[in-house]
Structure 1
């Protein structure tokens, strides 16, 4: 239906397109692949009559040359464009956007039939006929743009980057919709950045480089061409599903040694010291000494230097009570009990009444132990 011959476009002194030739048949999807700036969008604009540059060559639709015709005349001839960025009317409803697409004279006589066909191809649009378009997702807006173009009852549908800005899931739905449009008998000329998806649904493809078409082939052969895979599909085997060779195993990196520091045992010992006083080693068993008789005149056993923790706590508690203004209750002296010869010798309790000097010395020793308990701080 559509045949382009030696189409060239010049912007001032810059040649954007040079001698491009292609064809699109009825019910056929033809994709144009190329890098950014290769001239793909310029080719579509020249075919649809909206190119601002100087256009030469031939654009034949049913043997009628359309080069130099006004855009609305080209729409009347049967070519509809879905521009990049969709170009929908966001403040209008879905139904209003679709109705605007039927403005062409060739579509007015069968507006109801075209609307039924569009809503059959895109059931979601039928469910949202009264919804404002700007509140819809990007994929749904793209459906509105395609449906609006189809409302002009075209023979050729030209799409410029329809998947731009869509998520992978919406891209999949979009290409499935294009396959359904193809089954309706329309010819589709597709410019698409997603080469993998477009080649899966296309019948043929053209490679465009620096404004010139350098290669044409079936979509399957293009997808399996190593040069095409390297340039557009991200490397060999991307379109055919061939597995890439597994990368060589990398040697495991040796973890860096930590900087010199304290040993774990030292850290544990310090932590134990910070919690409380170190545990005393258990005394080894020794034979019990023979009991010795205690006489009243015998001197009391010397008191060890290490204070008893119970006495320290009691003294510290009494000291705290004095600081709070409460006087501690007087402690009554424990009664003396003489030790019997049959039992081991017990440390005798000093006789506080026997000597005032010894009593004073004991009191001073207790007070000194209390002061040590108040200022005691565990080692860190």
Structure 2
């Protein structure tokens, strides 16, 4: 099944105001040209309309004005424009290569499914060709059959060429979108593998603790009942923490040949901030209430901050950036209740005035896609977008239960 390609609609952004304004200006210009043809009388063998002015103006408006809506309703616009131009040709109002139809045909090929756009072209070209030939060779035979055939060829070239151009652009956009999705899916898969490796190390650590404490409990079960109970309590707590981590990694595949390494934690945040400062970003890092965060949550927080600072350095440096990591053990200065979650907020002020080019959008790289995936595995929430003061803001919330030590 072609999920991206040429068989389905790829409608451009119809709500783009600058493009709509350009189309409106072009529509008015075409209408004005057709109105001139209505009022034009000549003795040089060119088209000369002799009918009622109101009818001529109506046909001129029907041929030119619909072009303003070609991004919104491509096929109806093409049908309306061609019908109006056919009437204009039969009335000897205008004999031009159907420029308005070409503009509409381009959007039909660009925006509509291939089957529909091809069918539209298959109808439009014969209709326009016959109308031009009949108008030039039969209704007002001022140019003769050869001249009429030449004009038919020109109309086919203009309308067909515009349709072909739209089809080519459509194909390139489909290929680019297909590549982008492939790269995004590949990046997410790589991120899943990294998460699986990190969770493997964490769960292995928990199971090792369980094995050690179980061995201790077996040795001192009769001689020291109190120590046995403490060991069993530790086993219970560690088992719960390990199970929580394992639930988050269900369905995540692991590559046996991939390299392993210790999962990064909150201890690496200072190094991340230092790297960003060396790149010219004034980083203010605040970490509070994170003493008892599970290892998996720490690794995710580290990854969030890493990607956020990378984004700042890439898109906004030099600038000022505030990084706040607030865990469940810290003081709640905002009064909105922090117990049970860790909050990560990264806000930058955007590039200096000389480099500002409006709001940044969510970067096209795949780092933040991986961050969103990680946060989702923990049952948290993630948001990123333009900040309140012209920069970029990233916010993540990760539930951590009652903050039991991992």
* TM norm structure 2: 0.23
* TM norm structure 1: 0.24
User: Greater share of strand residues, 1 or 2?
Assistant: 1
Bigger relative CO (Cα 8 Å, ≥ 6 apart): 1
User: Greater share of helix residues, 1 or 2?
Assistant: 2
